[in-house]
Amino acid sequence: METAAFETDLSLFKYDNLEQLPPAYRDLDADERTERIESALETLGDDVVILGHNYQRQEIVEHADFIGDSYQLSKEAAQSDADYVIFGGVTFMAESADIITDDDQSVILPSMEASCPMAGMAEALQVDAAWAELTAALDDDEEIIPITYMNSYADLKAFCAEQGGLVCTSSNAHKAFEYAFEKGDKVLFLPDKHLGENTAHRLDMADETVEWDPWDAEGTDAADAVENDVILWEGYCQVHERFREHHIKSIREDYPDANVIVHPECRREVVEAADVSGSTSTICESVAEADPGETWAIGTEIHLTHHLQRWHPDVNVVPLCGDACMDCNAMRQIDPNYLAWVLEELVAGRERNVIEVAPEEKELAQVAMDRMLEI
């Protein structure tokens, strides 16, 4: 039953969205598009830098100056002298780049449809309401510290800074927890409950967690929630949440010697069943350092798996489940036709889809990110 429902959900996904493009860009064939992108890049020269997230399709990353995860790419943009930063990612990533780049650099998102569903699961009004309930339920001598995963909007990062909290990545979430418990008594972790739960397990705090569902009016009472040390926001990555234990079982049947590696945004039971759990960097490094002929089954977004297959042909890199199962619909909205459009608009002197974080919000979000760097 679970598999059938899962397939139905996937059939509803919208993988390409070209309706917002000017008509002349909707039907470009691959050769013409590549030629026009390369021509625009030649004209723009050092004035533009293209960032390609690991989860982007090959037609995007082949034009990228840098390929990596979101925060790594933002740092590359900040260190460049380019006037224009084209971010082949999703909205929160472009926001992060705008936060840490110079004011005279413009960050452009090729398609405004590329909006991370998980980031949208923790909106400001919901978080403010939850915070009011939770803090009111605390004892007078208790303090709760919010932590947000990097995969969140700038306003949530700013909120965490205001409340004494910080940002984390999947590789340093445990350090963020330690920082928070040095400052306060409890942690509110947003927006990814799976990363929060897996981090709590890593710190031997599995029995001290509770989920907070902002959509469930009859859910956990605030007074009951604050009896726990770790409160997990009801949010998740729609790609990593799809992986199941039976996917790992099937891989082990097909590839008995396979090493299974998954992202810590996956469900707890999937992480427990895997051989390795780690950030995108850990996944990439594991495959890069593998011996020729080894098999690595990857539990993360499918385009990174495809990149690893191309980059390391001597290693047998296989997806943990089918291509559709591992596809990020938000990333798919960055169609290469959009890249051609925003580049040619820059050549014509027009900036499209500029991502700008409000100054006060930007300053606070930077504080939350600086605290992460301190740890």
- Is pLDDT of 8 > 50? no
Is 53 labelled a binding residue?
yes
What is the DSSP code string of 253-285?
A: HH-TTPEEEE-TTS-HHHHHHSSEE--HHHHHH
Summarised one tens digit per residue, pLDDT across range 36-54 is 999 999 999 999 999 999 9
- Is pLDDT of 6 > 60? no
Q: Tell me whether the omega of the peptide bond preceding residue 146 falls within 30 degrees of 0, making it cis.
A: no
Q: What is the pLDDT of residue 5?
A: 31
Helix, strand, coil share of the chain (percent; to 5): 50, 15, 40
Is 325 labelled a binding residue?
no
Q: Which one-letter amino acid corresponds to residue 11?
A: S
- Min mean pLDDT across 12-16, 50-54, 210-214 is at 12-16
Is 250 labelled a binding residue?
no
Q: Compute the distance between CA of residue 352 and CA of residue 316 in angstroms, rounded to an integer.
A: 41
φ and ψ at 294, to 5 degrees?
A: -65, 150
Is 321 labelled a binding residue?
no
The structural domains of the chain, ordered by start, are: 30-116+330-356 (3.40.50.10800), 124-233 (3.40.50), 240-326 (3.40.50.10800)
> How many CB atoms are located within 10 Å of the residue 290 CB?
18
| Beta-sheet strands, E only, within the chain | 48-53, 66-68, 84-88, 106-108, 144-149, 166-168, 186-190, 209-212, 230-233, 259-262, 276-277, 295-299, 316-319
- Is pLDDT of 341 > 80? yes
The residue whose two tokens read 């997990």 is 232
Is 70 labelled a binding residue?
yes
Q: What is the pLDDT of residue 17?
A: 67
Q: Compute the distance between CA of residue 208 and CA of residue 231 in angstroms, rounded to an integer.
A: 9
Is 312 labelled a binding residue?
no
Confidence of residue 208 (pLDDT cuts 50, 70, 90): very high
Q: Are the CB atoms for 174 and 202 separated by under 8 Å?
A: yes
Is 265 labelled a binding residue?
yes
Is 121 labelled a binding residue?
no
Is 280 labelled a binding residue?
yes
pTM above 0.75, yes or no: yes
What is the rounded average pLDDT for all residues in the chain?
93
Q: Compute the distance between CA of residue 195 and CA of residue 152 in angstroms, rounded to an integer.
A: 13
Is 263 labelled a binding residue?
yes
Strand 209-212 and strand 186-190: pairing? unpaired
**What angle in degrees, to the nearest 10, is found between the helix axes of 173-183 and 359-374?**
100
Is 151 labelled a binding residue?
yes
